[in-house]
A = this chain, B = another copy of it.
Amino acid sequence: MTQPRWLDQTEMAAWRAFLTTSHLLERRIEEQLKASAGLTHPQYEILVRLAGATGRRLRMTELAKGVVASKSALTYQVGRLEEVGLVERTTCPSDDRGVLAVLTPAGARLLEKVAPGHLEIVREYLIDRLSREELRAMTSAMRKTEEALRSG
């Protein structure tokens, strides 16, 4: 442990901008999804992950890691999605402890319907405002942090 190292003005500005913007964007996305499909952002992300998985199914634990949610939060949200027929649960054939969340055809249809409006928000407020250079730098930066956090 060395001396406490504060952030200089530039670093603090960077951190504050990141923190504030991620929260604001999260809010905007939540609002759009709720209005257009009655989905929360976590629910939407679950559908996206399942749609991208082979067989449109994933183990609960994998899914939780993918969407960055706690196990119990995922159990809860998959329960909601199952109630409305967007996802089904199957016991994992290779591991009786396991549960597979499976995207239903209705889930896939809803996702196709909702995705454009969602991505339009992502474009409008983030992607389309960034230069190629900024996009590249941000991706690089985020990946470094992600990698570090996934390891620890």
Which A residues lie at the B interface, using CB under 8 A? 4-7, 10-11, 13-15, 17-28, 45, 68, 115-116, 119-120, 122-127, 129-130, 133-146, 148-150, 152
Contacts and interface: CB of A to CB of B under 8 A. Distances in A.
Contacts of A129: 141, 144-145, 148
B125 A4 contact: no
A146 B17 contact: yes
A24 B115 CA distance: 23
B25 A149 contact: yes
Contact of A11 (B4, B125, B127): B127
A116 B4 contact: yes
B24 A68 contact: yes
B5 A120 contact: yes
Contact of A127 (B7, B25, B123, B152): B7
6 contacts: A5-B120, A10-B136, A11-B135, A17-B146, A28-B152, A138-B138
A13 B137 contact: no
A25 B126 contact: no
A68 B137 CA distance: 25
Contacts of A28: 149, 152
B145 A15 contact: no
A134 B135 contact: no
A96 to B, nearest CB: 30
